[in-house]
Structure 1
Protein backbone atom coordinates (compact mmCIF):
# COMPACT_ATOMS: atom_id res chain seq x y z
CA UNK A 1 0.00 0.00 0.00
CA UNK A 2 2.84 2.42 0.74
CA UNK A 3 4.01 1.93 -2.87
CA UNK A 4 1.27 4.40 -3.76
CA UNK A 5 3.06 7.20 -1.88
CA UNK A 6 6.28 8.95 -2.84
CA UNK A 7 9.28 8.64 -0.54
CA UNK A 8 8.82 12.29 0.39
CA UNK A 9 5.18 11.71 1.35
CA UNK A 10 6.12 8.67 3.43
CA UNK A 11 8.75 10.68 5.33
CA UNK A 12 6.28 13.51 5.92
CA UNK A 13 3.75 11.00 7.22
CA UNK A 14 6.33 9.42 9.54
CA UNK A 15 7.36 12.85 10.82
CA UNK A 16 3.73 13.77 11.48
CA UNK A 17 3.09 10.50 13.33
CA UNK A 18 6.21 11.09 15.44
CA UNK A 19 5.13 14.70 16.16
CA UNK A 20 1.68 13.55 17.27
CA UNK A 21 3.22 10.83 19.44
CA UNK A 22 5.53 13.37 21.09
CA UNK A 23 2.61 15.74 21.75
CA UNK A 24 0.63 12.86 23.25
CA UNK A 25 3.52 11.88 25.50
CA UNK A 26 3.97 15.50 26.63
CA UNK A 27 0.25 15.77 27.43
CA UNK A 28 0.36 12.58 29.51
CA UNK A 29 3.43 13.89 31.36
CA UNK A 30 1.65 17.20 32.10
CA UNK A 31 -1.33 15.31 33.50
CA UNK A 32 0.87 13.08 35.68
CA UNK A 33 2.86 16.07 36.97
CA UNK A 34 -0.27 18.08 37.76
CA UNK A 35 -2.03 15.24 39.58
CA UNK A 36 0.50 12.96 41.25
CA UNK A 37 -0.55 9.44 42.10
CA UNK A 38 -2.80 8.80 39.11
CA UNK A 39 -2.72 5.28 37.75
CA UNK A 40 -2.04 4.85 34.02
CA UNK A 41 -5.74 4.07 33.53
CA UNK A 42 -6.75 7.23 35.39
CA UNK A 43 -4.35 9.30 33.27
CA UNK A 44 -5.99 7.86 30.14
CA UNK A 45 -9.44 8.73 31.48
CA UNK A 46 -8.32 12.25 32.45
CA UNK A 47 -7.06 12.77 28.92
CA UNK A 48 -10.42 11.69 27.48
CA UNK A 49 -12.30 13.94 29.92
CA UNK A 50 -10.08 16.85 28.88
CA UNK A 51 -11.01 16.13 25.26
CA UNK A 52 -14.66 16.58 26.28
CA UNK A 53 -15.78 12.95 26.25
CA UNK A 54 -18.66 11.93 28.50
CA UNK A 55 -18.64 8.82 30.70
CA UNK A 56 -20.69 6.80 28.20
CA UNK A 57 -18.27 7.68 25.39
CA UNK A 58 -15.27 6.80 27.54
CA UNK A 59 -16.87 3.43 28.33
CA UNK A 60 -17.27 2.71 24.63
CA UNK A 61 -13.80 3.93 23.70
CA UNK A 62 -12.05 1.89 26.40
CA UNK A 63 -14.39 -1.11 26.39
CA UNK A 64 -15.10 -0.74 30.11
CA UNK A 65 -18.29 -0.83 32.15
CA UNK A 66 -19.89 2.38 33.41
CA UNK A 67 -19.26 1.36 37.03
CA UNK A 68 -15.54 1.02 36.35
CA UNK A 69 -15.26 4.45 34.73
CA UNK A 70 -17.45 6.04 37.42
CA UNK A 71 -15.23 4.52 40.12
CA UNK A 72 -12.08 5.81 38.45
CA UNK A 73 -13.64 9.26 38.06
CA UNK A 74 -14.34 9.17 41.82
CA UNK A 75 -10.67 8.34 42.48
CA UNK A 76 -9.58 11.17 40.18
CA UNK A 77 -11.88 13.59 42.05
CA UNK A 78 -10.37 12.46 45.37
CA UNK A 79 -6.83 12.95 44.08
CA UNK A 80 -7.82 16.46 42.96
CA UNK A 81 -9.31 17.15 46.39
CA UNK A 82 -12.80 17.73 44.96
CA UNK A 83 -15.38 17.15 47.67
CA UNK A 84 -18.44 18.65 45.97
CA UNK A 85 -19.94 15.97 43.68
CA UNK A 86 -21.54 18.77 41.63
CA UNK A 87 -18.16 20.34 40.80
CA UNK A 88 -17.31 20.05 37.11
CA UNK A 89 -14.46 17.55 36.84
CA UNK A 90 -13.25 18.76 33.45
CA UNK A 91 -13.01 22.37 34.64
CA UNK A 92 -11.15 21.30 37.77
CA UNK A 93 -8.71 19.26 35.67
CA UNK A 94 -8.05 22.15 33.30
CA UNK A 95 -7.51 24.53 36.22
CA UNK A 96 -5.06 22.15 37.94
CA UNK A 97 -3.05 21.49 34.78
CA UNK A 98 -2.87 25.19 33.89
CA UNK A 99 -1.80 26.06 37.44
CA UNK A 100 0.91 23.38 37.31
CA UNK A 101 2.21 24.75 34.00
CA UNK A 102 2.86 28.21 35.47
Structure 2
Protein backbone atom coordinates (compact mmCIF):
# COMPACT_ATOMS: atom_id res chain seq x y z
CA UNK A 1 0.00 0.00 0.00
CA UNK A 2 1.57 3.33 -1.05
CA UNK A 3 1.97 6.07 1.52
CA UNK A 4 0.43 9.44 0.76
CA UNK A 5 0.42 12.74 2.57
CA UNK A 6 -2.52 15.08 2.72
CA UNK A 7 -0.46 17.93 4.16
CA UNK A 8 -0.06 20.67 1.57
CA UNK A 9 3.18 22.56 2.24
CA UNK A 10 2.92 24.86 -0.76
CA UNK A 11 2.89 28.58 -0.09
CA UNK A 12 1.48 31.37 -2.29
CA UNK A 13 2.77 34.90 -2.46
CA UNK A 14 2.37 37.84 -4.80
CA UNK A 15 5.34 39.86 -6.00
CA UNK A 16 6.10 42.56 -8.54
CA UNK A 17 8.78 41.09 -10.80
CA UNK A 18 10.70 42.71 -13.65
CA UNK A 19 11.94 40.14 -16.15
CA UNK A 20 13.49 40.09 -19.61
CA UNK A 21 11.74 38.25 -22.43
CA UNK A 22 13.87 37.69 -25.56
CA UNK A 23 12.36 38.91 -28.82
CA UNK A 24 12.71 35.38 -30.22
CA UNK A 25 10.38 33.95 -27.53
CA UNK A 26 7.53 31.91 -28.97
CA UNK A 27 4.67 32.91 -26.64
CA UNK A 28 3.07 36.16 -25.57
CA UNK A 29 4.81 38.22 -22.87
CA UNK A 30 2.65 37.03 -19.96
CA UNK A 31 3.00 33.36 -20.90
CA UNK A 32 6.75 33.70 -21.34
CA UNK A 33 7.10 35.48 -17.97
CA UNK A 34 5.13 32.69 -16.27
CA UNK A 35 7.21 30.02 -17.98
CA UNK A 36 10.53 31.59 -17.04
CA UNK A 37 9.55 32.28 -13.41
CA UNK A 38 8.13 28.76 -12.93
CA UNK A 39 11.55 27.30 -13.82
CA UNK A 40 13.24 28.95 -10.83
CA UNK A 41 14.32 26.59 -8.04
CA UNK A 42 11.61 26.33 -5.38
CA UNK A 43 8.85 27.81 -7.57
CA UNK A 44 6.12 25.30 -8.43
CA UNK A 45 3.88 27.64 -10.43
CA UNK A 46 3.74 31.27 -11.54
CA UNK A 47 0.58 33.07 -12.61
CA UNK A 48 0.71 36.61 -14.01
CA UNK A 49 -2.08 38.64 -12.45
CA UNK A 50 -1.38 41.93 -14.19
CA UNK A 51 1.06 43.45 -16.66
CA UNK A 52 2.37 46.62 -15.00
CA UNK A 53 5.15 47.79 -17.30
CA UNK A 54 6.63 47.22 -20.72
CA UNK A 55 10.00 48.36 -22.09
CA UNK A 56 10.85 47.10 -25.57
CA UNK A 57 14.54 46.99 -26.50
CA UNK A 58 16.66 45.75 -29.37
CA UNK A 59 17.00 42.08 -28.35
CA UNK A 60 14.51 41.67 -25.48
CA UNK A 61 11.47 43.25 -23.89
CA UNK A 62 11.55 44.00 -20.19
CA UNK A 63 8.18 43.42 -18.54
CA UNK A 64 7.06 44.19 -15.02
CA UNK A 65 4.30 41.88 -13.83
CA UNK A 66 2.32 41.34 -10.68
CA UNK A 67 2.66 37.60 -10.30
CA UNK A 68 1.37 35.00 -7.86
CA UNK A 69 4.11 32.51 -7.11
CA UNK A 70 3.48 29.11 -5.58
CA UNK A 71 6.52 27.77 -3.75
CA UNK A 72 7.23 24.20 -2.77
CA UNK A 73 7.69 24.83 0.94
CA UNK A 74 8.17 27.46 3.64
CA UNK A 75 11.94 27.38 3.18
CA UNK A 76 11.56 28.41 -0.46
CA UNK A 77 9.29 31.28 0.61
CA UNK A 78 11.84 32.50 3.17
CA UNK A 79 14.50 33.16 0.52
CA UNK A 80 12.26 33.56 -2.52
CA UNK A 81 13.45 37.09 -3.35
CA UNK A 82 17.08 35.96 -3.45
CA UNK A 83 16.22 32.94 -5.60
CA UNK A 84 14.32 35.12 -8.04
CA UNK A 85 17.11 37.71 -8.27
CA UNK A 86 19.64 34.93 -8.90
CA UNK A 87 17.74 33.89 -12.03
CA UNK A 88 19.30 35.34 -15.20
CA UNK A 89 15.96 36.59 -16.54
CA UNK A 90 14.94 38.56 -13.41
CA UNK A 91 16.03 42.17 -12.94
CA UNK A 92 14.01 43.26 -9.89
CA UNK A 93 11.60 41.88 -7.26
CA UNK A 94 9.44 43.95 -4.90
CA UNK A 95 6.35 43.51 -2.78
CA UNK A 96 3.06 44.31 -4.49
CA UNK A 97 1.55 47.60 -3.39
For normalisation by structure 2, the TM-score amounts to 0.29
Higher normalized contact order (CA 8 Å, seq sep 6+, divided by chain length): 2
Q: Which structure dedicates a bigger proportion of its chain to helix?
A: 1
